Copies of this chain bind each other. A is one copy, B any other.
């Protein structure tokens, strides 16, 4: 509608918010969450600490912005790998997403830890908030890729509507990827002894060969919990 009627104040505000987030993001990458400080950000953008409160209500608010921003970046990296591998073998397409997930984590370990583990004292992500929708954007390419490997199209995209068995299979797959990446970027993979990328690709391809649901045999197993 009135997209053209953006006052110079509105534009300046938008740019300043972006710069603040960028500065905070850099401080985060350099020294972790403990390194991003309100006064430090204000110093770097060249204004009084009190003025920052015009744009963010508190330090927790700034971190919330960093979290959603990082979720979007991760989702973008995985989504890009998914798009770029269109037409490839379904398994290779999923593996492309796997590599993209790991590559982003290796490149931005602080951001990765920030979005996946609770690090702030009293912080709790608001349900239906922007962080959860950004998080789901990360899962989406994986759901689509796995759906392709099983010839089920995008029938897995609506995770909440799936039967428990499918949910478990998908979460097991993603949990393996996430766990190994987590261990690697936090230096728990015997650095110098284990090759992270080789390990992750190896286990994910292995898991893909056995994760498919049983077609017809052994239907006597317990259907669910």
Contacts and interface: CB of A to CB of B under 8 A. Distances in A.
Q: Could you say which of A179, A189, A202 has the most chain B C-beta atoms within 10 Å of its C-beta?
A: A179
Given A167-B194, A175-B183, A195-B225, A188 B116 contact: yes
A203 B160 contact: no
Given A125-B187, A171-B194, 8 more contacts: A32-B119, A34-B119, A113-B119, A116-B182, A172-B180, A172-B206, A175-B180, A198-B225
Task: Give the oligomeric copy count.
Answer: 2
Contacts of A120: 32, 34
A31 B122 contact: yes
Contact of A180 (B113, B122, B179, B187): B179
A186 B34 contact: no
A58 interface: no
A182 B202 CA distance: 21
B172 A176 contact: yes
A50 interface: no
Contacts of A135: 188
Query: Which of A119, A174, A195, A206 neighbours the largest number of chain B CB atoms within 10 Å of its CB?
Result: A119
Contact of A186 (B117, B121, B188, B207): B117
A178 interface: yes
Interface of A: 31-35, 109-110, 113, 116-122, 125, 135, 159-160, 167-168, 171-172, 174-180, 182-183, 186-190, 193-195, 198-199, 202-203, 206-207, 210, 225
A198 B195 CA distance: 31
Contacts of A183: 116, 171, 175, 178
Contacts of A189: 171
B199 A117 contact: no
Contacts of A168: 199, 202-203
A35 to B, nearest CB: 5
Contacts of A178: 179, 182-183
10 contacts: A113-B117, A116-B186, A117-B182, A118-B186, A176-B176, A178-B183, A179-B182, A195-B225, A198-B225, A210-B210
A175 B199 CA distance: 11
